A and B are shown apart, each in its own frame.
Chain A
Amino acid sequence: MSWVLLGTLLVATATLWVFVGHLAQRLLRRSPQDE
């Protein structure tokens, strides 16, 4: 059970990285990279 929990937590975290990463990349596309 704990290995299943570990695996599902990893998948949930990885999908969150990808979701936030792509959303941020899309929304920040038009602004300059850095000052």
Chain B
Amino acid sequence: MNELLTTVFWSTVTLTVFFGWRRIFLALKHPLLHPILWATLAVVLLLALSRYPVTAYREKSAPLVWLLGPAVVAMAVPIWQRRKLIVSNWRALLLVVALGIAFSAFSVLLLGPFLGWREAKSLVPKSVTAPVALGIIREGSLGRAPQDQLIESKLALGIMVSALSGAVLGPVVLQFTGVRDRRAVGLALGCASHGVGTARAFEIDSTAGAFASLGMSLTAICAGFVLPWVLRLI
């Protein structure tokens, strides 16, 4: 199979699996059937069964990865539409984001005696979007040496769990615990479950989506400044 055909094949497989699961999800409306989880697992299973390398799959699905750029930029549109509401609440929003980062870091560090301090430290930026989170642990003097690949893979696991669980369980847990305000739901999903949580918030409505985008962006900016410094201190 030549290069172009392989690219078309894996992109088509990925889209077919995703939209197939999406149809099931929309038909049954059960949160545990969310396609972001099951389509990911199905593609992983297909890669494992066909013994196709993940790095090659990533290369061949480049057209889909490229679409992530415009999708992220499009998330700014609902924020712009609600700019007056956001500006009038800027103190509250910054406080929520700052306390969210502190709570996330503290809750992970509490696991230090069970997981080991180095592992717990590596999970501190798990609720930050992946590229920024990897930068944080490198700046925080973790994950620099070749033997620190394990640290990065633990963080990758933490990021994936935060993201996928946000899509599958986040809205259910928030509703069950009495969080009804769509802005609060959006902020919770954006601050804790970054990109995937934000995409899930947009499925609720555009207000939740706008606040999730804002929560994710502010968390990435603030954590990018603060967490490397915290990691070097502890």
Interchain CB contact (< 8 A) of A8 among B95, B115, B188, B215: B115
Contact B103 A17 (CB under 8 A): no
Q: Count the A-B residue pairs with Cβ separation under 8 angstroms: how many? A: 124
Map CB proximity to A onto B180-205 as digits: 1 under 8 Å, 0 otherwise: 11111101110111000000000000
Residues of A within 8 Å of B62, CB to CB, are none
* Pairwise interchain contact A9-B123, C-beta atoms closer than 8 A: yes
Cβ < 8 Å to B, chain A residues 1-35: 4-6, 8-10, 12-25, 27-29, 31-35
A11–chain B nearest beta-carbon distance, Å: 9
Nearest CB of chain A from residue B81's CB, rounded to whole Å: 7
User: What's the least CB distance linking B159 to chain A, in Å?
Assistant: 10
Are A9 and B85 closer than 8 Å at their CB atoms?
A: no
Chain B residues whose C-beta falls within 8 Å of the C-beta of A5 in the assembled complex: 115, 154, 157
State in angstroms the CA–CA spacing of A10 and B100 once bound together.
Answer: 16
Q: Please state if A28 and B92 are interface contacts (CB–CB under 8 Å).
A: yes
- Nearest-neighbor residue (CB-CB) of B193 within chain A: A13
Q: A23 and B99 in contact (CB under 8 A), knowing A6-B161, A35-B85?
A: yes
A21 touches B115 (CB 8 A): no
Question: Is the Cβ of B173 less than 8 Å from the Cβ of A18?
Answer: yes
- Cβ-defined contact, A20 with B188, below 8 A: yes
B50 contacts the other chain (CB 8 A):
no
Interface string of B71-88 (1 = CB under 8 A from A): 000000000011011001
Q: Considering the complex, which residues of chain B in the window 199-228 have a beta carbon less than 8 Å from any beta carbon of chain A?
A: 207, 211, 215
A12 with B107: CB separation less than 8 A: yes
Q: Which residues of B contact A22 (CB under 8 A)?
A: 177-179, 184
